[in-house]
Structures are given as C-alpha cells and as structure tokens.
Amino acid sequence: MNKKWEAYEKDEAEIKKISENNNISTLLSTILYNRGIKDSDIKKFLNPKLEDLYEPFLFKDMDKAVDRICKAIDSKEHITIYGDYDVDGITSTAILVQFLASRGAVVDYHLPNRLVEGYGLNNSAIDDIKTRETTLLITVDCGISAYDEVEYAKSLGIDVIITDHHECPAQIPDAIAVIDAKRPDNTYPCAFLAGCGVSFKLVQAICKTLSLPDEEYLKFLDITALGTIADIVPLLDENRIIVKYGLEAIKKTSNIGLKSLINVSGVKSIDSTSISFGLAPRINACGRMGKADLALKMLLTNSFKEANEIANELQRMNFERQEIERGILNEALEQINREHLDKDKIIVCGSENWHHGVIGIVSSKITETYYKPSILVCFEGDEGKGSGRSVDGFDLHSALLYCEEYLQKYGGHEMAIGLTLKKSDFEQFKKILNDYAKDKLPNEATPVVKYDCEITSKDITMDTIKELRLLEPYGEANPTPLFLYKNIRVDSIRTLSNEKHLKLNIKDEHRIFSAIAFNMGDKKNYIKMGEKATIIHSLEVNTYNGVNMIQLNIKDIKKSI
C-alpha cells in the first residue's frame, strides 16, 4: 500500500531557541520540538531523575487507601488483589502482592480468566473471594466502571479500594478509595500512568507513611517499567522516569522470573523495543490463552526451577498463539476476498472456529493491511464475541454506541474495542455499522508516515546517533526519530529470511551505508541496483563481530523522480 509522507510543521525560530538555550544540535532540537516538548521542560526530559517522581499523595483518595491498607496489615486482615490478564494487570498485581507480603500482610490475588470471566470485576469472582474470608479487596488496572460489583462486594462485608488508569464513567464506584488520575476531580500531575504505575505510586505512598527507605518501592521499577511499556501509554513525564530507570533495573533485576523470561526469550539488549516485541508478547500469550496466573506465578516465585519451567511454558504458549493467529488471519483474509469485504467502510468478519483470545491481534493486522477499521467476531453457539481496531481519526467506540441496540455488551476506546452480540444480530450490526461510517471514512484512506526532518550524509555520524540516544526510551508519544534521505543510489540489494526482508547498500556522494528494510521483501523488484531512491529511515548501530557500524533502518522507500 502506498503511503503518504509528511514532515512535521516547524517553527525555525523556536527550534533555534531550543538549540541555543540547551546547548544541543539543531537536529535534536527539531525532534524535541516535533514531540511537543516545551523549552522549559527539555532539561527534565533529557535528564530525568528519580527525584522528579511526584508526591503520591497528590492522588485523590491516596490517603484513604493507605490508611485502610495499613490497618489491614496491622490487624492481619485477609487482602485480595484483583488484577487483569494482560502485562499491565499482571505486573500491577505482582507489585502489590510482593510488597504487602514483605510487610507481613495476609494477601492473595485473583486474575480473571479472559476466556471465561472477561475483563474486570464480576460477582462470581467476588463470591469466591468472600470464601477466603477476604475483608479488603484492592483492584489494579481495573474497577473504575464496576459500580454494581463494588456494591455487591460491600453487601458481603468486603471493603474495596479501586486503583485504575482507565477513563471514568459518570458515576464512579462508592469504594473506600478510588485512585485514578482520570477522575474529573483529579489533582495528580501525570494523568497517563499505566495501571502498574498507579500500583507503584500506592506502594510509594505506603512506604512514605511507614517511613521505609526509598529502596522498598524503587525495587519494583523493573516490573513497573515492563508493564508501562507493554501498555503503550505515553512515555513522557513520570512514565519516562519510570521506564528510563526501570530499564536499567531490568538489566540487573533480582526478580527470578523476569531473569528466566529474558534468558528463554533470547533477548540480547534491554530497551523499550525488546520489551515490546520480546518479553511482553510472551506474558500476554498466557493471558490470551486463559492462563494469566502462570505469568504472575513466574514473577512471584523464589524458585529458579519453577521460574525457568514457567518461562519455557510461556515461550511454548506464545508459539501456539502465533500459530492460532496465523490460521485466523488466513481465514479472515479468505473471507474478505470471497465476500469483497474490503469494499466496506469497516471490515467485519465472523467465524465459528476462531479463538477470541487472539482475534484482537488479527484485527490489528487486518486494519494495518487495508488501512480500514476492522472487527473480528468469533461465534460460540448463539453468542459472538468480537474485538476491533480502528485507524487514526475514526472513533470506533462511538460507532458502537450508534449500534448499541444490536450489542449485548461493549467497551473500549477510540482505537480498540471489544463487544458481545447475538449471532442472529451479526448481519444487521454489520450493515448499521457501515451505514454509520459511510460519511465518516474516505473510500480510499492512505496511511501517513510522519518524518522529523530531511538529512544528508553529513548528518549520518556516530556522534549524531549518540546524541539521539538522549531521547530514549522510545515509545508512545516519543517515537523513534524518522528522517527523509533523498536521491541515494542503490548499490546492492538482496532479500533475507525467505524473501521477507531487504538488505541494501546505498551510496551518496562518496559514502556507502548499510541499510535494512524489515517486512519489505515484496519490494525486491521495485527498486533495482543502480537506481536512485528516496527513503524514510531511522538511524541505528549494527554490531557484527564486535565492530559497530551505522545502519539505516528503512521504513518506506520510493523511486526518485
């Protein structure tokens, strides 16, 4: 699919001011300007410090939560942590379970089974929690919409503390404390912490109250960073501090389970990319397959043997997940071609044979392929469970709101949704959904690649790459910088990995650069050796046999006119 290239709009005077005030290059200043980092915040952005972590009691209800938890610890009440089945929910749970156990609390946990219970609090789980003689229930990464479930827990004599980071409904639960920076009356400076970030702040607040050393909460930076990166929250402000120091903590982690997962997954360098594509999918895989407890046990265990066994099981489950995902993707693509669903504004597919734990990933691939919103539904008897992904500029959650009479349950946000419907309503739902999108989506949408600025060969140096590393860690709202490089000659080109990737040498003036183009093997006959091309790329260092070489990581390529 052809992509549209766009440069960020620039204010040259402001960029010059940033460069002079902070003694940094124009190139780095341009990228910071593109990221929306104000001149007054740049020193803090480039040099984040642990001392810049915010006071946890700026959260509404934090004092109430800490008082109730400390009372429960002292009186040996039974505390249950109620989490979620993704990486954020699992790490959030691990943080609180480990910390509270270290303070002598009587604590256990419940992670809902994705395939049976679905997301969030449910009354059946609360009944089970009641049989454990739990008197305090703490939610992590969930609960902000669970008004009725909190009332039910209270009716059974269970106090509830909500810690969450999702958008708040009009009426929040009537709990002992509700800690969520998305509250309408929020006073916390960073409104986009992940769920594990909120758990981390709760532990920090308890440590301050009990006059414990900072190390007692900072030791959880490793798994907090893991959950924060995996949940794709903006890596700005407090999240940037957590992830920057958390990545360093992961490199020397004392968490046996995390160590085992790193070894089994074969991750060689620890950065936000290796977390996103190496560790997180393996933890998410067990949640998608209905066994999130496995990953949590791995992070909690003190046994090297158990940790290694679980890490290997997560590896196996991730392979299984990938196989299932490939099968569903092939079936969905066949259905799209057979029924000409690519002509619709929103691609909606359904089948009896799909695993609803992985259809969200497949929906992402469908949306990426056709650059259209997509929803995949798997039918089990008379019921269908679906997951969908959108494109920039189209609110898929609002579209579901328009079709809600055909839905039994739905949730999510602008870019990702989940739903439940009756099989008998599927076709009508598909029709109404596409009617809604008729005037809101173009017939042929074109994905946009935004690049930071144009560079030439003189900008491509080890010193430039070293300076760019000040921007790390990369992630949501702080993407890897991309550059436009015009009229380079292709000196050599070949495919790698069964023609999946391209390996090139490109020449400009008297310099030759090595380049890689992942997942672009289909363009092997588009650009031929000796031809001129223009590319969008990032800059990186490739180390081979102990030698460091500059490598251009190509994101898109076009023939020069």
Nearest to residue 226, comparing CAs of 25, 475, 551, 448?
475
| Among 112-126, 208-222, 500-514, the least confident range | 112-126
| Among 116-120, 160-164, 183-187, the least confident range | 116-120
Residues of the chain with CATH 3.10.310.30: 340-437
| Contact present, 537 and 552 (Cβ < 8 Å) | yes
Q: Diameter of the chain by CA atoms? A: 77
| DSSP string computed for 487-548 | EEEEEEEEEETTTTEEEEEEEETTEEEEEEETT-GGGTTTS-TT-EEEEEEEEEEEEETTEE
- Tell me: the pLDDT tens digits for 73-128? 999 999 999 999 899 999 999 999 999 999 999 999 999 987 787 778 999 999 99
Q: How far apart are the first and last CA of the chain?
A: 19
Share of the chain above pLDDT 70, in %: 100
Summarize the confidence of residues 529-533 as an average pLDDT.
91
Q: DSSP secondary-structure letter at 25? A: -
Kindly report the backbone phi and psi dihedral angles of residue 95, in degrees, each rounded to the nearest multiple of 5, phi listed first.
Answer: -60, -50
| Contact present, 200 and 141 (Cβ < 8 Å) | no
Summarize the confidence of residues 55-63 as an average pLDDT.
98
CATH topology of domain 4-47+448-559: OB fold (Dihydrolipoamide Acetyltransferase, E2P) (2.40.50)
User: Residue 453: which pLDDT band, with cuts at 50, 70 and 90?
Assistant: very high
Strands 177-179 and 347-351: unpaired
Summarize the confidence of residues 25-43 as an average pLDDT.
94
Summarize the confidence of residues 364-384 as an average pLDDT.
94
- pLDDT score of 445 more than 90: no
| Contact present, 426 and 396 (Cβ < 8 Å) | no
- pLDDT score of 270 more than 90: yes
| DSSP string computed for 438-462 | TTTS-SS---EEEESEE--GGG-SH
How many Å apart are CA 230 and CA 198, to the nearest integer?
A: 15
Q: What is the pLDDT of residue 379?
A: 95
As a dihedral over the C-alpha atoms of residue 232, residue 237, residue 241, residue 242, rounded to 10 degrees, the angle is: -40
Q: What is the 3-state secondary structure (H, E, C) of 82-141?
A: ECCCCHHHHHHHHHHHHHHHHCCCEEEEECCCCCCCCCCCCHHHHHHHHHCCEEEEEEEC
How many Å apart are CA 238 and CA 101, to the nearest integer?
A: 26
- pLDDT score of 333 more than 90: yes
Residues of the chain with CATH 2.40.50.460: 4-47+448-559
| Contact present, 186 and 172 (Cβ < 8 Å) | no
- pLDDT score of 509 more than 80: no
Q: What is the pLDDT of residue 1?
A: 67
- Tell me: the pLDDT tens digits for 354-372? 998 899 999 999 999 999 9
Q: What average pLDDT does the structure give for the chain? A: 93
- Structural tokens at position 169: 């409904």
Nearest to residue 479, comparing CAs of 457, 503, 452?
452
340-437: CATH architecture: Roll (3.10)
Summarize the confidence of residues 5-22 as an average pLDDT.
94
Residues of the chain with CATH 3.90.1640.30: 52-252
Q: Is 60 helix (H, G, I), strand (E, B) or coil?
A: coil
CA distances (Å), 66 to each of 70, 107, 176, 363, in order? Answer: 6, 15, 11, 41
Share of the chain above pLDDT 90, in %: 83
Summarize the confidence of residues 211-235 as an average pLDDT.
96
CA distances (Å), 55 to each of 188, 189, 239, in order? Answer: 9, 9, 14
Kindly report the backbone phi and psi dihedral angles of residue 388, in degrees, each rounded to the nearest multiple of 5, phi listed first.
Answer: -140, 160
- Structural tokens at position 269: 């360098």
CATH topology of domain 52-252: inorganic pyrophosphatase (n-terminal core) (3.90.1640)
How many Å apart are CA 268 and CA 264, to the nearest integer?
A: 11
- Structural tokens at position 157: 């004599």
522 against 537, higher pLDDT: 537
Residues 6+ apart with CB under 8 A from 414: 390, 394, 395, 396, 397, 398
CA distances (Å), 384 to each of 30, 125, 344, in order? Answer: 48, 23, 21
How many Å apart are CA 464 and CA 190, to the nearest integer?
A: 31
254 against 114, higher pLDDT: 254
